[in-house]
Structure 1
Amino acid sequence: MSKQLAFEAWLACIEAEQAGVLATILQTELPLTNPESSRMFISNEGIPIGDLRDASINAQIMEIAIRKLHEKKPKSETYTFSGSDGLEMSFFIDVYIPPIDLIIFGAGHDAIPVANYSVSLGLRTTVVDSRSFYNSDERFPGIRRIVTNEDGYQENIKIGNRTYIIVMNHHLEKDQKTLEFVLNSQSPYIGLLGPRSRRIRMLETLEEEGIVFSDSQLQRLYSPIGLDIGASSSEEIAISILAEIIAIKNGHRGGFLQGAEFIHNN
């Protein structure tokens, strides 16, 4: 693959807001006989485009790229490698990670502060509800809205491994259908509003219908939702929910900082 194709794939990755890595040769002890071999792109699926003219270096770049694509906060860095011929080459490994997505299922009154606070945190926020009167621009100004019922989920909603989910339809059957859909996705966080007994009831009903989830799927289900801060109002509950999402995203448990050895550590 050519340098141009690798760079085009990188630009396409950014435009499509997909995660990817671009490795570019900064310095080498020998001039490149083929200028097109100065870049390699690695997609979020781990598919390489390009060839850095050395199989050993290609493998090392791939290893770093895949590791970075799985990190919570990957950083672009410069690396120096020795090729199979013993010569050193320096590379800049550029990482693009798209913004976090948050999808809120349910456009009730308590979804409004969740959506507003989510946007203020820089999360790409989407509200899903089939009721156009509730799921309106007046109630959710400037927020992406999908007006569909459960039958339209597969066609209209895409959930990736950086998509966080909140289920708050306030309707038992809708929440059951939504859980069936989102638990089969790559979402790292699925928060379900309501008490523990309600969650158990829904999962038992789904199991009676032959829909059983694995332990790894259920580990991503957070219910009751939110951090325990004594929240009571819709605004406080929204802060509790989003605080939990921030903690999960950053790999933290969300406890008190007082007495902690480190503060805001990576």
Structure 2
Amino acid sequence: MNVQKKLPPFDAWLDAIDQQQAAVLMTITEASLSQKNYRICYLENQPPIGSFYDQALELAALSIAKEKLGQSNPQSESLMIQDENELDVDIFFDVFVPSPTLMVFGAGHDAIPVVKYAAECGMKTVVIDQRSLYNDEERFPHAERIIARPEDFSGCIRVTNRTYIVVMNHHIEKDKQTLKFALSSLAPYIGVLGPKSRRIKILDQLYLEGCHFTYTDLQRMHSPIGLDIGAVSSEEIAISIVAEVIAVRTRHKGGFLQGAEFIHQSS
């Protein structure tokens, strides 16, 4: 989204929500308000909109806003920050982060429970498959469906740093082209169905074609996909896949809670 700078901070904030873009609205509360410049909207990876009356206060608030958008589960809250005169100023940080997106490449029968469980967990779901008879509303009633060939992905698919990708085409050439696209994207998680030997074969073919990925790129790739819970059926495998996506998103290891000191995290 390209927000016009002429928009007031609050209007830019509302526009960000409408466009489903991560943003933080910082407002000096009425108790502390003594100047006109009391509100800033920070949109992820964009210059701030608006300003505070105090530069030190503004820089400190923007630093907190950026830190919040880097958290897995950021919370809105009021914080006391000192201005350049060392006076405490109460600022409310109103955080909006869109729901994570699970993007499934392949509309086979085993993709149905993956998409279903992800949607039930609050994720936006997208299914990409060129076969319209498979990628239809009856099979994926709660998902956005994109009919596209691998060579068309870059022109019709938008991947952000909150998009989690699952590759399950059951076709090694399609998986190869999909993986090439996914590893070049901002996706923090790229799960590929199949054994380790299949992953090696695909990566070797990409390497021979001149597609060289860094260690950091490949660290985002999960193959075999899912958590090791002894899954056998399509439904069980779907649970293990969605669970792994949640674990990556929340920066958890996905192990047993037995013996853990805490069972929940705040961010």
Q: Secondary structure at the match of 1:119?
A: helix
Determine if contact 1:3/1:38 at 8 Å carries over to the other structure.
Answer: no
Partner of 2:21: 18
| Matched residue type, 2:148 | T
User: For the residues of structure 2 that align with 1:29 and 1:146, how far apart are their CA atoms?
Assistant: 49
Q: Deviations over 1:235-256 (max 9, x none)?
A: 1110111111111111111111
Q: Secondary structure at the match of 1:161?
A: coil
Q: Secondary structure at the match of 1:39?
A: strand
Runs of 4+ in 1 over 4 A off after TM superposition: 1-4
Partner of 2:93: 93
**Cα-Cα RMSD:** 1.7
User: For the residues of structure 2 that align with 1:3 and 1:90, how far apart are their CA atoms?
Assistant: 26
User: For the residues of structure 1 that align with 2:195 and 2:89, how far apart are their CA atoms?
Assistant: 57
User: For the residues of structure 2 that align with 1:226 and 1:30, how far apart are their CA atoms?
Assistant: 50
- Is structure 2 residue 122 aligned with structure 1 residue 119? no
Determine if contact 1:79/1:90 at 8 Å carries over to the other structure.
Answer: yes
Pairing of 1:26-45 with structure 2 (within 5 A): 26-27=29-30, 31-32=34-35, 34=36, 37-45=37-45
Determine if contact 2:119/2:142 at 8 Å carries over to the other structure.
Answer: no
Count of residue pairs brought into register by the alignment: 263
User: For the residues of structure 1 that align with 2:146 and 2:257, how far apart are their CA atoms?
Assistant: 38
Determine if contact 2:161/2:188 at 8 Å carries over to the other structure.
Answer: yes
Following superposition, the deviation at residue 150 of structure 1 comes to 0.7
Partner of 1:250: 250
Paired-residue identity, %:
49
Partner of 2:75: 75
Q: Deviations over 1:44-70 (max 9, x none)?
A: 004211111111011001110111110
Following superposition, the deviation at residue 108 of structure 1 comes to 0.5
- Is structure 2 residue 148 aligned with structure 1 residue 153? no
User: For the residues of structure 2 that align with 1:171 and 1:221, how far apart are their CA atoms?
Assistant: 18
User: For the residues of structure 1 that align with 2:86 and 2:223, how far apart are their CA atoms?
Assistant: 55
Following superposition, the deviation at residue 139 of structure 1 comes to 1.3
Q: Deviations over 1:58-83 (max 9, x none)?
A: 10011101111101111111122222
Partner of 1:261: 261
Following superposition, the deviation at residue 27 of structure 1 comes to 3.8
CA gap of 1:174–1:82, structure 2 versus 1, over 3 A, is same
Q: Deviations over 1:95-145 (max 9, x none)?
A: 111001000000001111111111111110010000001111121123210
Normalization by structure 2: what TM-score?
A: 0.94
Following superposition, the deviation at residue 86 of structure 1 comes to 3.6
Q: Deviations over 1:204-251 (max 9, x none)?
A: 000001101101110000000001111111111101111111111111
| Matched residue type, 1:11 | L
User: For the residues of structure 2 that align with 1:55 and 1:159, how far apart are their CA atoms?
Assistant: 35
- Is structure 2 residue 9 aligned with structure 1 residue 6? yes
CA gap of 1:149–1:2, structure 2 versus 1, over 3 A, is closer
User: For the residues of structure 1 that align with 2:249 and 2:5, how far apart are their CA atoms?
Assistant: 36
**Which blocks of at least 5 consecutive residues in structure 1 are unaligned?**
none
Determine if contact 1:46/1:66 at 8 Å carries over to the other structure.
Answer: no
